[in-house]
A and B are shown apart, each in its own frame.
Chain A
Amino acid sequence: MDWIFEARWSPYAAGIGIGVLSWFTFLLSNKPIGCSTAFARTSGMFVRIFRGKKIDEMPYYKQFSPSIDWEWMLVLGVVLGGFISARISGDFSIQVVPAMWAASFGSAPFPRILTALAGGIFLGFGARWSGGCTSGHGISGTLQLAISSWIAAVCFFIGGIASAFIIFKVIG
């Protein structure tokens, strides 16, 4: 049972685990694994605080109502699952600046958090523009052989690889 406490598994073991998990989400919940819609719903909940009932007239929130659903609970579960796994693996650590970032841009927290904010804005915006993320399109959509998901997944990596090279080889 030592494998439960290992800090890292083979990426293939983790991937096969996610694949088998998706069998059960389809079977028991009739749903593919996805994460980015939960963020859209949550942002809608915040908008509702400020704009009240006006939100119900916004076309986007008519499609994705700002409420807690299966996928929202899934994302919440990922936080807990990540925490449990990190704790039992002895890998939990409070860390602001990742090592690779620090090696190129220094260990000051503020620039990293600000960059994460900017990156998050692009990520959240792009995920809703394309209709999914690395889980919803990249894994769940491609495994259903959906054309939209194969195009989106390839573009995630084209955009990501180009941007990573600019950030670390040109700027950094």
Chain B
Amino acid sequence: MLNVIHTKKGLQLFLGFLFGILFGIFLHKGGATKYDVIVGQLLLIDFTVVKIMLSAVITGMIGIFAMKSFGWVELHPKPGSWGSSAIGGLIFGIGFATLGYCPGTIAGAVGNGYIDAATGGIVGILIGAGLFAAIYPRLMNGILRKGDFGDITIPKLIKVPECIIVPIVATFLVFILLALESKGM
């Protein structure tokens, strides 16, 4: 049944669009489509973005690992390496602070009417992605492979069953949120 749904191309494009609309509504309602909220997070004066992300991770993780245990869904962990994940992450961070939006929230910011996002921001991301594609042949067998660890997950790395790791990580993340609240952040 699910497999049939997954292979219907037109239906999937429609579902992607529908999920996007809902994602955009949540991002806007949470405040994440706003430059001031994102930069406020990076200046450590407004913890809205971390609160949205961690509550999404806790909720999503519990549901998805539960559905996985029933065999309803499969995971799609991304492969990575220190050279790719860490260095790429730091470059992304420079852009994150300078632009004040990320690739998802900037789409919501465009819908919110923010011209800096709709002009400079979107054009910049397209140029950056294009530049990466152009130099990719020179990076793909070098720095991007440095310290390669593949698509491994925490439960597989430390060889502890998911049904133990998931509640531990969820509890840890809830404690971070409680600590933020208790400090009035």
Contact = CB atoms under 8 A, between A and B. Distances in A.
Interface string B38-82: 011011100011011111111111011001000011111111111
A3 to B, nearest CB: 9
Nearest to B68: A26
B133 A44 contact: yes
Interface in B90-130: 90-117, 119-130
A20 B77 CA distance: 18
A84 B23 contact: no
Nearest to B108: A82
Given A15-B59, A98-B114, A123 B157 contact: no
A161 B169 CA distance: 24
A85 B23 CA distance: 10
Contact of A146 (B78, B113, B140): B78
B120 A116 contact: yes
B95 A121 contact: yes
B88 to A, nearest CB: 3
Contacts of B116: 95-98, 109, 112-113, 116
B18 interface: yes
Given A16-B56, A23-B60, A39-B129, A86 B73 contact: no
A56 interface: no
A14 B97 contact: no
A171 B170 CA distance: 39
Contacts of A79: 20, 24, 107-108, 110-111
A143 B64 contact: yes
B70 to A, nearest CB: 11
Contacts of A44: 130, 133
B67 A26 contact: yes
Assign chain B's interface to a size class. 35 or more
Contacts of A126: 88-95, 128
Contacts of A75: 20, 103-104, 107
Given A77-B23, A113-B119, A156 B92 contact: yes
Interface in A114-147: 114-147
B103 A127 contact: yes
Question: Most B CB atoms within 10 A — which of A47, A61, A92, A119?
Answer: A119
A60 B133 contact: yes
Interface in A51-99: 58-61, 68-86, 89, 91-99
A16 B102 contact: no
A121 B19 CA distance: 27
B28 A82 contact: yes
B153 A147 contact: yes
Contacts of B110: 79, 82
The 9 closest A-B pairs by CB, nearest first: A159-B93, A120-B124, A77-B20, A81-B24, A148-B80, A19-B59, A124-B128, A155-B89, A130-B88
